[in-house]
Amino acid sequence: MKLIGLTGGIGMGKSAAAKILAGRGVPVSDTDLLARRVVEPGQPALEEIQRTFGPATIGPDGQLRRDALARIVFADPAARLNLEAITHPRIHALWKEQVELWRARETPLACVVIPLLFETGAENEFDATVCVACSGATQQKRLRERGWTTEQIRQRIAAQFPVEKKIAQAGFVLWNESGLDILAAQIDHILFRANARQS
């Protein structure tokens, strides 16, 4: 089985690329979704977050208050590292478990989406790495359309490697400045090369 690690800057199109891959029949595990699973009510990670960051991070319904936690961890790099120490090992275990299921099924090609792929040193666990990128102006525009403030955008971009560094480390780059049809064409080219290597 060939395993692709998909990453990129925030707001640059990782989710769009993942949907296109899934539409091409490539199974995808998105660690953003796994990150939500590990902090569901009753999960050890949620209890640890409450102990570490205080009861204000948990709502009356027992759910994680993501806005309250984000205000803490994106304003304080040390706090963000504490959160990552709680969540990242659990997320890693979940996607590794999925990879083993794919291997057992003899899946020819699969993908794991990891925003912090290079930051966490996970690139060596993949046969190929792909970075989705766009210009800084387009990234800012997309994040503003999410309703984020200038400070929120600055903090979240600062929490990742510069996209130029991700591009330099990736085996393939998807330049997502235009429409989805252009992105899909680039993905098809990568899939063609990946399939050719398997032949």
% the chain with pLDDT above 90: 94
Q: Is residue 92 part of a domain?
A: yes
CATH code for position 53: 3.40.50.300
pLDDT for position 193 = 78
3-state secondary structure of 129: strand
Per-residue pLDDT tens over the stretch 111-130: 999 999 999 999 999 999 99
Question: Is position 199 within any domain?
Answer: no
- Band of residue 192 on the pLDDT scale cut at 50, 70, 90: confident
Question: What pLDDT, on the 0 to 100 scale, is given for residue 197?
Answer: 62
Domain-embedded: residue 198: no
Is 197 within the bounds of a domain? no
Residue 96 confidence (pLDDT) above 80: yes
d(CA 194, CA 199): 9
pLDDT of residue 147 exceeding 60 = yes
Q: How many domains, in total, are found in the chain?
A: 1
pLDDT of residue 40: 97
**Between 196 and 74, residue with greater pLDDT:** 74
The Cα–Cα gap between 90 and 158 comes to 24
Integer Cα distance of 90 and 40 in angstroms: 12
Query: 2 with 198: CB under 8 angstroms?
Result: yes
Q: Is residue 100 situated within a structural domain?
A: yes
Rounded distance, CA 168 to CA 98, Å? 28
| 167 and 131 Cβ atoms separated by less than 8 Å | yes
Give the whole-angstrom CA distance, residue 187 versus residue 171: 13
Domain assignment present for residue 88? The answer is: yes
Identity of the amino acid at 5 = G
Question: How much is the pLDDT for 116?
Answer: 96
pLDDT for 196 equals 59
175 inside domain: yes
Q: How far is 2 from 196, CA to CA, in rounded Å?
A: 12
Q: What is the mean pLDDT of residues 141-152?
A: 95
120 in any annotated domain? yes
Domain holding 142, by residue range, is 2-192
